Amino acid sequence: MDERGPLCVGIDPHASLLAEWGLDDDVAGLERFSRTVVEAVADRVAVMKPQSAFFERFGSRGVAVLETVVREARAAGTLVVMDAKRGDIGSTMAGYAEAYLHKDAPLFCDALTVSPYLGYGSLSPAVALARQSGAGLFVLALTSNPEGPEVQHAVRADGRSVGATMLAHLAAENAGEEPLGSFGAVVGATVGDLSSYDLAINGPLLAPGVGAQGATATDLPKVFGSALRNVVPNVSRSVLRHGPDVGALRTTAERFAEEIQAVVAAP
């Protein structure tokens, strides 16, 4: 983030974007789209985030493309966050962790998005393997979708909301780590005033919502306050719609990175 600016570019090859690029909605189109995005920005942004669902819909051939995308992006020096939002219990959660967080796995990534809504403790196998592999997690905490608050803002018997509870768990995971711990939270850039939440978790805050969902770089200080320095804003459609031209993708990503960096660096 210090070297390349705090920007995460999503790789979301859904059917409408493939069509905008003039590509067929098939494995060949998927591969052309995804590898073009990697070519354009993987050597200059801090993070890339492939959305697993858009690859899985093509079955095993789509997952094979995802393996290639992850490998090529990491080889170019970017960190790869797999947006798979896995969440389960016991041996099943361990299986998901093995798929994305074991160093020998074909889909090994630098971090994985996970859902804690079977209870934070259900994530223990993923936490343990992430630590062992030098990888990390992004835990859904305060998401940008309109349905999220019915769970995340619900108040527990102790008076603390569910979202705040998840942030507290992450702060405990990251205690004492420098410069940051590897256990981050997903906190939407469009969720509004979060002054009642303690975002100082000593870990990164993955912030979807910039661009097509309506948030701008200038909105980030109002949402994240003193935690702004640790925010990794995610931009997907607002960059991807400029393909298939590699130069246009690159220029757009660089513009977003510069805008965000200017806000983060402002006194």
Residues with catalytic roles: 85
The Cα 141–Cα 85 span in angstroms is 12
Could you tell me which of 207, 212, 255 has the C-alpha nearest to residue 234?
Answer: 207
**H/E stretch holding 209:** none
The Cα 85–Cα 77 span in angstroms is 23
SS3 79: strand
The Cα 10–Cα 150 span in angstroms is 26
Could you tell me which of 82, 217, 238, 209 has the C-alpha nearest to residue 145?
Answer: 209
Handedness of CA 126, 128, 131, 134 (dihedral sign): negative
